[in-house]
Amino acid sequence: MLISAAVSRAANEPPAITEIELDSPREDEVLVRLVATGVCHTDLFAAHLVPLPAVFGHEGAGIVERVGARVGKVRPGDRVAMTFGSCGRCRHCHDAAPACCEHGHQLQFGGTREDGSTTLSCASERIHGSFFQQSSFATHALGTERSVVRLPDSMPLELAGPLGCGVQTGAGAVLNTLRAPAGSSLAVFGTGAVGLSAIMAAGYANLGAIIAVDIDPERLELARALGATHAIDARDGDVVERINDIVRGGVMYSIETAGALSSLNESIVCLARRGVCALVTVPNLGEPVSFSLLPLLTGGKRLVAVLEGDSVPDVFIPRLAELYLAGHLPFDRLVRNYAFADVACAMNDAATGRAIKPVLRF
């Protein structure tokens, strides 16, 4: 079928909306008509990871139009969020850790289905799709049965997309990875969509001290409105010292979402003995870092990496939707809406920080 999609042809150029061809769903696939899609930071540097030309977007939400013969989870007309892909066969998928799927990298960034075929084309040109098994910067997307999740009836589709990546990553870091108990202390470095989702989840989980760290006063104010008990502007002096002023001996938990070398170091040093740091991103796309790991060793601390909030999407995304509907996770306050035609502007606003969570509407 013919669809409109935002096709990226060069790493440093904005995508152009183009009419291209989308395959029919295969037996395990689901065709979704997009209502909205979030823009995540991974979309911004995806052109460095995925072969081009390609269509990005991995926070789609919409209505199921067709399903393959073997799909039983959803039916045409169902309202769904789209999320990351996983194989369903490897030991991590079997162990309820699909975000750590052995085929995860290929399924998110390979630009193809698992068998190497592409879902998108333009005339005879092969266009890479299947980004996070969706490529949602398009009027329609092909997901797999594993990458679509049915939503509660009252969850607005215009809003549901970010549940598939940014919100589940931040909220999952608190609720799934750290399982921070009520009354415990947490420092969140970076107040983008992931950091703020972590802060909202920490508020819901009744943590004691919830400390937001950033260099943007407006974001810090929003962090307070969303549940942070303290806000630290990292430009105003020693961050670790000020965290220690708030929680003597350091916090039990930290989440690093800022992606700077300084915040990575601080997120470890600010921990109390036996504290745990959840790492959501790394500085400079994985460039080697240089700082002492002695505080980790001498403090008996732990550093854990978090992929997609350790989410089992079929369980966690409906739970997040229910939390939103109950008023516990007001992530609509992070959203700025754009028409699909303005995809380049939305991506630019995400890159500059003008928008926390851009959402494209179709």
CB of 196 to Zn ion, least distance (A): 14
Nearest distance, CB of residue 89 and Zn ion, angstroms: 6
SS3 298: helix
**Region binding Zn ion by CB under 5 A among candidate stretches 39-47, 196-204, 267-275, 303-311:** 39-47
DSSP state at residue 2: E
The residues near 24 (Cβ < 8 Å, ≥ 6 apart) are 1, 31, 66
Single-letter amino acid code for the residue at 151: L
Q: In angstroms, how far is CA 321 from the centroid of its own chain?
A: 15
| 42: contact with Zn ion by CB under 5 A | yes
| Alpha-carbon distances, residue 47 vs 27, 85, 106, 148 (angstroms) | 29, 18, 15, 24
Binding test (CB under 5 A) with Zn ion, winner from 3, 40, 232, 347: 40
Residues 223-252 binding Zn ion (CB under 5 A) are none
d(CA 95, CA 284): 31
> Tokens 């769904």 sit at which residue?
80
Stretch in the footprint of Zn ion (CB under 5 A) among 78-86, 149-157, 307-315, 337-345: 78-86
Cβ closest to Zn ion, residue 103 vs residue 126: 103
* 49: contact with Zn ion by CB under 5 A: no
Q: Which string of DSSP letters, residue by residue, matches 221-288?
A: HHHHHTT-SEEEEGGGS-HHHHHHHHSTT-EEEEEE-S--HHHHHHHHHTEEEEEEEEE---GGGG--
Nearest distance, CB of residue 308 and Zn ion, angstroms: 8
Nearer to Zn ion, 134 or 184 (CB): 134
Minimum CB distance to Zn ion, residue 338 (Å): 17
Interface with Zn ion (CB under 5 A), residue total: 8
C-alpha to C-alpha distances, 72 to 30, 68, 120, 148, nearest whole angstrom = 10, 9, 24, 12
Pattern of binders to Zn ion over 91-130, x per CB under 5 A?
Answer: --x-------x-----------------------------
Nearest distance in Å: CB 109, Zn ion: 12
Nearest to 274 by CA among 295, 247, 257: 295
Token pair of 145, please?
Answer: 């049965």
> Binding of Zn ion at residue 165 (CB under 5 A)?
yes
According to CB under 5 A, which one of 90, 122, 261, 325 is a site residue for Zn ion? Answer: 90
| Sole binder of Zn ion in the list 64, 87, 196, 226 (CB under 5 A) | 87
Q: Is 147 in the site for Zn ion (CB under 5 A)?
A: no
Q: Which residues fall within 8 angstroms of residue 221, CB to CB, at 6 or more apart? A: 231
Of 40-48, 77-85, 197-205, 213-221, the window that binds Zn ion (rule: CB under 5 A) is 40-48
Beta-sheet pairing, 140-144 with 29-38: antiparallel
Segment lying near Zn ion (by CB under 5 A), choices 83-91, 112-120, 267-275, 316-324: 83-91
The smaller minimum CB distance to Zn ion, of residues 75 and 89, is found at 89
> Which residues sit at the interface with Zn ion, rule CB under 5 A?
40, 42, 86-87, 90, 93, 101, 165
